[in-house]
Amino acid sequence: MPTSRLRAAVLTAFVLLSSLVAGCTDDDSGDEDLTAQELHWKDCPAPSQAEGGGSAPSPLPDGDAWQCATMKAPLNWDDPKGDTLGIALIRAKASGDPGRRIGSLLFNFGGPGGSGVTTLPAFGEDYAALRTRYDLVSFDPRGVGRSDGVRCENDQQLDAYFQQDMTPDDAAERTTLLDNTKEFNAACEKNSEKVLPHVRTTDAARDMDLMRQVLGDAKMHYFGISYGTELGGVYAHLFPRTVGRAVFDAVVDPTQTSEQGALGQARGFQRALDNYAEDCTSKTEDCPVGDTPADVKNRIARLLAQLDAQPLPGVFPRELTQSAATNGIAQALYSQDFWEYLTEGLEQAYDGDGRTLMLLSDSMNGRSENGEYSNLVPANIAINCADDRARYSPAYVEGRLPAFRAASPLFGDFLAWGMVSCTDWAVPGAADHPDVSAPGSAPILVVGNTGDPATPYEGARKMVDALGAGVGVELTYKGQGHGAYDSKNQCVQAAVNGYLLDGKVPAAGTVCS
């Protein structure tokens, strides 16, 4: 989920580095040719706290181990001979006939701020067909996880930060929100001053082209999801002649400002909530959270209003606030598979128990059960604030509230006030929106999902148009949730696999349902 753009999307005593990765170093790289560096692949360690923690990735179904390495990249691409940082990589080597191996297939799963090193193994079995001809590769983009992850506040401070009222109703609540946001941003500057100017999407795209060369690939074969589609579009703009076979799934609209993106997400999450309510009440058994779609949404609205005045017990000692409940509901709308948890969480909340909705919110914010946070939220905000030029005043946000409420009575205020995240940011934003025009690029398959809450379907057509004539090829999936390939829809997977494995570009306008 792209940020403010919902305050954070799916993974502090931020323990950044282990022996696997070197972070920023003051050593001058001198005349070293970074494209000639050799990667030292080893069995992967357990994820760091910044990556979300947990256990080392289990072996692949065929018994092969996931391998990890660190790539050295310039800290500042405008000074490529200066300081460097380490980019954490993970791969599963191709499982098929070596003679049919195409190369590496690089994944970015979105956020921005998501750790590819932890996400790829979690979904590795879903890409078994692609592994027959590719090494599956992903990475922690600069500022994320082990790749010199952005550090801001500690775990206890983040608990308090996420407990605050993020939809202020009066001057006092507004002052508190703005003060807390300013303190958070100041902590980011204090703890990550060196890396903050260098986490823009253009920097990550240049890292990817260095990665392509270090991996020994003539072309960049790429699978980008959510924010990964924006990153892929920027890569295609900068390096159109090296684009190989590329797929964009859950597509960010590259033509929008951050305000337009937030407003689009308000519509998208509202549409997903409408679909959830319709689905629940249309089943043969009674819907436990409402009799009609309108009743479901009205009851949720009343719950949120009650939580604004009186939070419920959540995950002890924290309480389920209005903001946490809204965040948890949004998390459950990312996949139709999560709708049952939304129903369970709402039922519990109506009975006075906020635990399930709070656990969903924790997942959105990158909080593990042991109370430690990944650096998903700090990285998410840092990358978006470095990319987006706009800085919105509180007065401007208040003036836009009617439009956001019209787009979504439930999510409108939440997303509108999220626009102040960058107001006091230390680094100026780069542009109003990314440039993804890519004349001369190979075809890029652009997959839009009609029920996607976080990257609304309309963005796929905007991406196709922005890439330019003869580049973007649109495929529509009539489904629910964020993204299409991992829905397991056979039509979508056949089209994507056919292109990535065999180079067969589906007909533009293909529809899967």
Q: In angstroms, what CA-CA distances link 144 with 195, 375, 382, 429? A: 11, 7, 10, 18
> Alpha-carbon distance 111 to 119, whole Å?
11
User: pLDDT tens across 67-99, in order?
Assistant: 999 999 999 999 999 999 999 999 999 999 999
The phi-psi region of residue 44 (left if phi > 0; otherwise alpha if psi is between -120 and 50; otherwise beta) is beta
Q: CA 415, 379, 199 angle in degrees (round to 5)?
A: 115
> Alpha-carbon distance 131 to 92, whole Å?
8
**Mean pLDDT for the chain overall:** 93
pLDDT per position in the chain (513 positions), as tens? 333 333 333 332 222 223 223 344 444 445 689 999 999 999 999 999 999 999 999 999 999 999 999 999 999 999 999 999 999 999 999 999 999 999 999 999 999 999 999 999 999 899 999 999 999 999 999 999 999 999 999 999 999 999 999 999 999 999 999 999 999 999 999 999 999 999 999 999 999 999 999 999 999 999 999 999 999 999 999 999 999 999 999 999 999 999 999 999 999 999 999 999 999 999 867 899 999 999 999 999 999 999 999 999 999 999 999 999 999 999 999 999 999 999 999 999 999 999 999 999 999 999 999 999 999 999 999 999 999 999 999 999 999 999 999 999 999 999 999 999 999 999 999 999 999 999 999 999 999 999 999 999 999 999 999 999 999 999 999 999 999 999 999 999 999 999 999 999 999 999 999
| Total number of residues shown for the chain | 513
> Alpha-carbon distance 107 to 126, whole Å?
13
- In this structure, are residues 472 and 499 in contact, taking their beta carbons and an 8 Å threshold? no
Nearest to 471 by CA among 294, 141, 241: 241
- In this structure, are residues 226 and 112 in contact, taking their beta carbons and an 8 Å threshold? no
Nearest to 191 by CA among 392, 7, 375, 430: 375
4 is catalytic: no
User: pLDDT tens across 403-419, in order?
Assistant: 999 999 999 999 999 99
User: pLDDT tens across 225-278, in order?
Assistant: 999 999 999 999 999 999 999 999 999 999 999 999 999 999 999 999 999 999
> Alpha-carbon distance 319 to 301, whole Å?
18
Exactly one of 95, 115, 138, 226 is catalytic; name it. 226
- In this structure, are residues 311 and 155 in contact, taking their beta carbons and an 8 Å threshold? no
Exactly one of 221, 452, 486, 487 is catalytic; name it. 452
What pTM value is reported for the model?
0.93
Both tokens assigned to 322: 């209005």
452 is catalytic: yes
Exactly one of 198, 221, 237, 482 is catalytic; name it. 482
Residue 474: strand pairing partners: 446
- In this structure, are residues 250 and 2 in contact, taking their beta carbons and an 8 Å threshold? no
482 is catalytic: yes
Q: DSSP assignment, residue 442?
A: P
> Alpha-carbon distance 59 to 388, whole Å?
40
Q: What is the pLDDT of residue 31?
A: 63
Nearest to 142 by CA among 81, 91, 92, 210: 210
Q: What is the pLDDT of residue 321?
A: 98
> Alpha-carbon distance 110 to 297, whole Å?
29
Q: DSSP assignment, residue 77?
A: T
Buried b or exposed e, range 322-337, using 16+ CB within 10 angstroms: bbbbbbbbbbbbbbbe
Q: CA 227, 232, 236 angle in degrees (round to 5)?
A: 150
Measure CA 34 to chain center.
Answer: 28
Q: Which phi and psi (to 5°) does residue 422 adopt?
A: -100, 5
Question: At 36, is the secondary structure helix, strand, or coil?
Answer: helix
